[in-house]
C-alpha cells in the first residue's frame, strides 16, 4: 500500500502530547492523519489533517471515527475496546489490537497475564473495592507496607499510593484495585520493544528512571542505563518475553524493577509511545514515534541504537501555580550545551501536570545527567 502523499488515512485516538510528537513524523512522511479527542484544546489539533471531537470511551464516537480511516492507533489506553473489536471485525487494522489493549487496560488483568505467562512480577492481591483492604490487613491476609493501585484510569502517578499504615487508605477512591508487595529495588528500568505485523522485532537500549518522591512521576530518564551488561541483557530478554506473550504490533514500553539481588520484575506496560522513550528523538537513530509508525504500517524497522547518550527531564507544573503557563528561565536552559525543550501546547498549568520535557544529549552520560540537574533547577513551569 502507498502511505505517502496518497489517499491513505491514519487514525489516532487521543490528541495529547504523544500524538502531537507522533504527528511530527507523519508530517515528515506526508501521511494523512485524522485525530479524535474530547478536548477542543488538544495539543494534536495544530498538527493533524483532520480533528474530530469525541469521547474516547464512547462506543459510537470511536466506532464512527474508526470507519473513516484505514489504520487506527492510539496514544492513550483509556479507549472503548468494544468499538475497536467491532472495527477489527469489519476489516479496519487496529494496532495494537483490541485484545492487547483490553488485557493492559486493567492492572489486575495485566498482572494475571504475567503470572499465566511465567513473567516475573511482584506478588499481588486483587480487591473489588478499596474498603475491603482493611479487613484483609486485620485478619492477617495482607501485610503492611504495600502499594495500592487502582486497576483502571490511573496515569502519571495518579491511582497509585504507597500504604505504610492503615490510615494511608483514607481518602482513596472505593474502586476495583490491587495491592502489591513492596519490592526493595535499586533501579526502575524500562525497555521499549517494537514489533511489526510481519513479526520483525527490535529493542531500544535499557533506560533508567529516577522518580519524584512525592508526585510518583518520572523526573529523569537516563539512556543508556547505568547498569551492568548482564542486568541489561536480563531486562531486554524479559521485555522480549513480554512482547512475545502479548504478540502486539507497534511499541510496547515495559517498565521493570531491578531488585537488590539483580532480579528483574515487570511492573507494568504501555502499548504506545512512552515517557521512557522521549530522549530517542534527539539521542537515537530512529525516534520512538517514527518507529511506532514504521511498525503499525508494516514498514522496515529503523535502527534503535543511540547516536549519543541522552537524559530526559519532565517539565511539570510547579506546586502553587494554576492558570496560563509561563516557562520561566527557558532561555537560560537553551543556552546550556545539548539542551532541547519540547513544549506540549497545554495553555493551562496546574501542579504536577505534564507540560513538556527537555532532552539533554552528550557523549558522556555523566555530563548529560549533571546538565539535566542544572536544567531541573533552572526552569520553572509557573502561571501568570
Looking at every residue in the chain, the average pLDDT score rounds to 96
Between 359 and 213, name the one with better pLDDT.
359
**Alpha carbons 354 and 94: distance in angstroms, whole number:** 27
193: β partners: 203, 252
* ∠ Cα 327 15 72 (to 5°): 150
Pairing of strands 339-343, 50-53: unpaired
The answer to whether 70 and 8 have CB atoms below 8 angstroms apart is: yes
75 is in an annotated binding site: no
322 is in an annotated binding site: no
234 is in an annotated binding site: no
pLDDT digits (tens, 9 = 90+) for 141-164: 999 999 999 999 876 667 899 999
107 is in an annotated binding site: yes
Pairing of strands 32-37, 50-53: parallel
DSSP 329: T
Domains of the chain: 9-94 (3.40.50.20), 123-181 (3.30.1490.20), 185-383 (3.30.470.20)
Is pTM, for the whole model, over 0.85?
A: yes
pLDDT digits (tens, 9 = 90+) for 283-329: 999 999 999 999 999 999 999 999 999 999 999 999 999 999 999 99
182 is in an annotated binding site: yes
The answer to whether 130 and 174 have CB atoms below 8 angstroms apart is: yes
| pLDDT confidence of residue 217 | 75
DSSP 155: B
Least trusted range by pLDDT, from 205-214, 277-286, 328-337 = 205-214
- pLDDT, mean of residues 83-106: 97
The answer to whether 220 and 245 have CB atoms below 8 angstroms apart is: no
- pLDDT, mean of residues 200-224: 89
Residue whose C-alpha is closest to residue 303's, from 276, 285, 288: 285
Percent of the chain with pLDDT over 70: 99
**Alpha carbons 379 and 219: distance in angstroms, whole number:** 13
The answer to whether 61 and 54 have CB atoms below 8 angstroms apart is: yes
82 is in an annotated binding site: no
| pLDDT confidence of residue 30 | 98
Query: Confidence band (pLDDT; 50, 70, 90) for 215?
Result: low
| pLDDT confidence of residue 157 | 64
The answer to whether 285 and 222 have CB atoms below 8 angstroms apart is: no
216 is in an annotated binding site: no
| pLDDT confidence of residue 22 | 98
Counting Cα atoms < 13 Å in the Cβ hemisphere of 77 gives 26
28 is in an annotated binding site: no
The answer to whether 295 and 360 have CB atoms below 8 angstroms apart is: no
Query: Confidence band (pLDDT; 50, 70, 90) for 211?
Result: confident
Residues 6+ apart with CB under 8 A from 202: 193, 194, 291, 301, 304
Query: Confidence band (pLDDT; 50, 70, 90) for 127?
Result: very high
Distance from CA of residue 260 to its chain's centroid?
A: 25
Percent of the chain with pLDDT over 90: 93
| DSSP element (H, E) containing 252 | strand 250-259
**Alpha carbons 195 and 243: distance in angstroms, whole number:** 8
**Alpha carbons 29 and 4: distance in angstroms, whole number:** 6
Amino acid at each position: 500500500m502507498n502511505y505517502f502523499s496518497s489517499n491513505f488515512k491514519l487514525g489516532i485516538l487521543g490528541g495529547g502530547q504523544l500524538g502531537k510528537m507522533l504527528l511530527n513524523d507523519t508530517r515528515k512522511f506526508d501521511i494523512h492523519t485524522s485525530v479524535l479527542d474530547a478536548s477542543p484544546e488538544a495539543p494534536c489539533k495544530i498538527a493533524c489533517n483532520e480533528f474530530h471531537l469525541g469521547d474516547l470511551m464512547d462506543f459510537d464516537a470511536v466506532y464512527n471515527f474508526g470507519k473513516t480511516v484505514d489504520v487506527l492507533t492510539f496514544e492513550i489506553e483509556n479507549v472503548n475496546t468494544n468499538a475497536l473489536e467491532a472495527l477489527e471485525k469489519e476489516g479496519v487494522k487496529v494496532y495494537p489490537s483490541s485484545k492487547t489493549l483490553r488485557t493492559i487496560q486493567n492492572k489486575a488483568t495485566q498482572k494475571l497475564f504475567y503470572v499465566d505467562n511465567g513473567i516475573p512480577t511482584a506478588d499481588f492481591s486483587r480487591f473489588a473495592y478499596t474498603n475491603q483492604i482493611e479487613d484483609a490487613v486485620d485478619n492477617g491476609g495482607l501485610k503492611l507496607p504495600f502499594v495500592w493501585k487502582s486497576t483502571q484510569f490511573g496515569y502519571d502517578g495518579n491511582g497509585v499510593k504507597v500504604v505504610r499504615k492503615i490510615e494511608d487508605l483514607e481518602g482513596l477512591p472505593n474502586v476495583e484495585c490491587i495491592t502489591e508487595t513492596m519490592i526493595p529495588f535499586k533501579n526502575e528500568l524500562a525497555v521499549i520493544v517494537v514489533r511489526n505485523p510481519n513479526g520483525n522485532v527490535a529493542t531500544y537500549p535499557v533506560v533508567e528512571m529516577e522518580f519524584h518522591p512525592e508526585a510518583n512521576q518520572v523526573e529523569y530518564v537516563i539512556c543508556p542505563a547505568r547498569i551492568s551488561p548482564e542486568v541489561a541483557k536480563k531486562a531486554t530478554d524479559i521485555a522480549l518475553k513480554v512482547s512475545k506473550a502479548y504478540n502486539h504490533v507497534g511499541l510496547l514500553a515495559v517498565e521493570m524493577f531491578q531488585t537488590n539481588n539483580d532480579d528483574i520484575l515487570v511492573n507494568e506496560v504501555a502499548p504506545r509511545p512512552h515517557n521512557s522513550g522521549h530522549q530517542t528523538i534527539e539521542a537515537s537513530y530512529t525516534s520512538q514515534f517514527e518507529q511506532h509508525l514504521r511498525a503499525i504500517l508494516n514498514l522496515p524497522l529503523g535502527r534503535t541504537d543511540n547516536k549519543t547518550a541522552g537524559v530526559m527531564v519532565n517539565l511539570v507544573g510547579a506546586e502553587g501555580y494554576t492558570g496560563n503557563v509561563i516557562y520561566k528561565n527557558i532561555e537560560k536552559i537553551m543556552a546550556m550545551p545539548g539542551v532541547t525543550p519540547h513544549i506540549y501546547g497545554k495553555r493551562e498549568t496546574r501542579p504536577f501536570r505534564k507540560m513538556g520535557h527537555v532532552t539533554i544529549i552528550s557523549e558522556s552520560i555523566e555530563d548529560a545527567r549533571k546538565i539535566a540537574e542544572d536544567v531541573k533547577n533552572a526552569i520553572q513551569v509557573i502561571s501568570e
